[in-house]
Amino acid sequence: ALPSRTLAGDCRIATKLPRDGQYTIEIHDLQYAPPGVSFFRLKVGQWQFADLAFPPAVTRGQEVALELLGTTGGAKLPFKAPTDGDVIPTAFPNPQVASGPPPSVLLSSLTELVESNVATGVPPVASQASSTGEPPVPTIPVAISGRLDAPGQLDQYRFAVVPGAKLTFEVFAERLSSRIDAVLELRNKDGGVLAANDDGPMSIDPRLEFTVPAGLDTLIVVLRDSLEVANEQAIYRLVVTNADKPTSEVIATAKSDVTNIASGESQVFEVNVSRRGYDGPLQLSLGQLPPGVTATGTEILAGASGTLLTLTGAGDAASQLVTSLMLKSPDGTVSARVRTDVPADDRTPVWLREQFAIAATPKSATPFQIAWADAQPMTQLALMSKPAIPVKFVRPPGMLGPIRLTFVTSQLEPRVNNQPNLILALRPERVVEVPVDPPVVAAINALKALDTQLAEAVKQAAVAQGDAKTAADAKVADLTTKKTAAETAVREAEAKAPSTSELALVIPSVLPESSCDVAIKAELLNPERNIVLRTAYSTVRRLAVLNPIAVKLSGTTTIEQTLDPKAGAVVKLTGKIERLAGFKGDVNLTLTGQPGGVAITNVAINADQTDFALELRFPVNFAAGEVKGIKLIATGPPDPLTGNQPIRTEVELIVKLVAGS
């Protein structure tokens, strides 16, 4: 048996043994090259398993009968979908004989229908959609779950459409762990193929964006399997939505799924949000927390791409639990469970990625702390700047490893062509490592040497007799006194050691967020610098993003001008450039979006200048009326720390031309 996507890369052999006797099971890495010590768990027996559930998606709050696809004998379970969340694992009918992970069900906000092979002229029930092409599917947006379980099967769904409508057709099969390779076709009512797709941009599942042409009122969606798997597990889910009215949704991810919180200390979860069709505020709620643990930073502002969720411990007892994190809009119409961020090829079940392990522990015997130390706390993130931020820390006594300092932010990782682009990220200019002060190292090493000598002296005193015993005891007493003095020397050296450092924050010239959370992260390393022993965070600051270039027009952004029938019209733009947050560079002003035939002037404002004047010249044959889409763009110098991308701000103008006499 080879690794199976359905089993998240694991293997299964289901066979009927021909006779009684001794059999050998051989297990090896696929490439015979495991990455170091690799563990496995083998189960042998007469087990029931289910790899998929049908339907694979259910509308939130809806009740259905779920069919488990595997060796459960076609078991159907009553299932009521929760009103929140995205994915939920099902339950086996008989857990005692079950093997493998339970299949998951997608929770949807769409109308979810199930394929039905009804006879012509017979309407399907409300929760079904006919895959014979008649009658039409009653609504868009909609999702339809079906099965291509016969060789050469074509499933056809008829939709009534309006010319000019922009529709998106997407099939989920491979992403559901179905074994089919789906092919999607759009046909007219005469059978002519209008569009087709086999593989989408990020999956072998097909996807089409289609604008309904003039004269077309009916669209037939046809699905087939190029592999002709033709069994009960050949399932799919077809999703049809309005491309110009996308469903509002958010995807929330966290960088970690486990944390330990000592009493009196805090840990930070980096939670990011990708938005589609919704840009408003979001509230983060947590399930149960260990006693004494509280959460702050649960609000994500409108337009923001995340938050730094801070968990603080205050209790004395040790406890642990597994909880969940949920995002919701104020009206509850947009919601999502937070999932652990994983690589694209990760095989962890989605429902498991929605579980977070949190443990509360008693107060640590040795403090480890990090804090902001700026006398005037920064309140803004000025684009294209690099503020140096002083920090202070408390190092645990007796530790010889350095402290590594960096920043954590709520910024969504910038990506270009689906690849990380760190030059657009809020980031430290460099990661700072603060070594142990040399006098502290010397004092600790001296103490360790005395510890070794004292341990040896105690051993010798334990076996010595007579005069040798007296001398050995005297040596133990002398070394004990010296050890006490050495311990005092260590404490004095640690008290005198520097406890401050500086960390420069690179703020790129391009930052789409309106605000970002920022905190300082300190990691205590072992002397070899290859193991993180402890982690501490400063308080979180929520900082507004500031563009240091502001365009101040002398008048309003709506300009009225008379259009002279002999001279045309000259629209003059005057104003000032304001430079904020210490910015002192040159600024170029350009006009874009003007109609053809309109002459413009652009201008460069030197660093020591603020006033500007530009013109738009409309020709005599230009029609009177309102002209929109013209933008005045101010651009600063290129930023070498952001790939030479400049600061940019723009003002949208409206020109009203009034016909002259």
Task: Encode pLDDT of 609-632 as tens digits.
Answer: 999 999 999 999 999 999 999 999
Mean pLDDT of all residues in 220-233:
92
Bridge partners (DSSP) of residue 655 are 559, 627
pLDDT for residue 490 is more than 60: yes
Rounded-to-integer distance, Cα 355 and Cα 339, Å: 8
Structure tokens at 387: 């503020």
Residue whose structure tokens are 């010319």 = 163
Could you give the 3-state DSSP secondary structure of residue 219?
A: strand
pLDDT digits (tens, 9 = 90+) for 391-427: 999 999 988 899 999 999 999 988 887 788 889 999 9
Summary mean pLDDT of the chain? 90
Mean pLDDT of all residues in 317-327:
91
At 646, is the pLDDT very low, low, confident or very high (cuts 50, 70, 90)? very high
Rounded-to-integer distance, Cα 127 and Cα 316, Å: 53
pLDDT for residue 387 is more than 80: yes
Could you give the 3-state DSSP secondary structure of residue 520?
A: strand
pLDDT for residue 120 is more than 60: no
pLDDT digits (tens, 9 = 90+) for 36-92: 788 888 999 888 888 889 999 999 899 999 998 888 777 788 999 888 777 888 888
At 298, is the pLDDT very low, low, confident or very high (cuts 50, 70, 90)? very high
What DSSP element (H or E) covers 629?
strand 625-639
Give the residue extent of every domain in the chain: 1-109, 114-242, 248-363, 438-496, 549-659
Class of the CATH domain delimited by 114-242 = mainly beta
Residues 6+ apart with CB under 8 A from 292: 263, 313, 314, 315, 316, 317, 360
Mean pLDDT of all residues in 8-19:
87
Give percent of the chain above pLDDT 70.
98
At 345, is the pLDDT very low, low, confident or very high (cuts 50, 70, 90)? low
Residues 6+ apart with CB under 8 A from 141: 110, 111, 239, 240, 241, 242, 247
Return the amino acid letter for 124: P
pLDDT digits (tens, 9 = 90+) for 576-604: 999 999 999 999 999 999 999 999 999 99
- CATH label, 549-659, candidates 1.25.40.10, 2.60.40.10, 1.10.10.10, 2.40.30.210: 2.60.40.10
Mean pLDDT of all residues in 505-528:
93
What CATH number is given for 248-363 in this structure? 2.60.40.10
Q: At what angle do helices 466-496 and 438-463 cross, to 10 degrees?
A: 160
What phi and psi values does residue 456 have, to the nearest 5 degrees?
-70, -40
Computed from CA positions of residues 173, 178, 181, 182, in that sequence, does the dihedral angle turn out positive or negative?
A: negative
Asked whether the beta carbons of 308 and 270 are under 8 A apart, the reply is yes
Mean pLDDT of all residues in 434-439:
93
Structure tokens at 54: 């049908």
Distance of alpha carbon 45 from its chain centroid, rounded?
Answer: 40
Could you give the 3-state DSSP secondary structure of residue 373?
A: coil
Domain pair 114-242 / 248-363, same fold = no
User: What is the pLDDT at residue 118?
Assistant: 61
Rounded-to-integer distance, Cα 36 and Cα 509, Å: 44
pTM score over 0.95: no
pLDDT digits (tens, 9 = 90+) for 183-215: 999 999 999 999 999 887 667 899 999 999 999
317 versus 322: the higher-pLDDT residue is: 322
Q: Which of 322, 170, 151, 289 is nearest to 236 (CA)?
A: 170
At 296, is the pLDDT very low, low, confident or very high (cuts 50, 70, 90)? very high
Could you give the 3-state DSSP secondary structure of residue 468?
A: helix
Long-range contacts of 581-586 (CB under 8 A, 24+ apart): 581/380, 581/382, 581/385, 581/546, 581/548, 582/382, 582/385, 582/548, 583/382, 583/384, 583/385, 583/548, 583/549, 583/636, 583/647, 585/636, 585/637, 586/636, 586/637
pLDDT digits (tens, 9 = 90+) for 282-295: 999 998 999 999 99
At 154, is the pLDDT very low, low, confident or very high (cuts 50, 70, 90)? very high
Could you give the 3-state DSSP secondary structure of residue 166?
A: strand
245 versus 632: the higher-pLDDT residue is: 632
User: What is the pLDDT at residue 350?
Assistant: 78
Structure tokens at 203: 């999956």
Asked whether the beta carbons of 66 and 51 are under 8 A apart, the reply is no
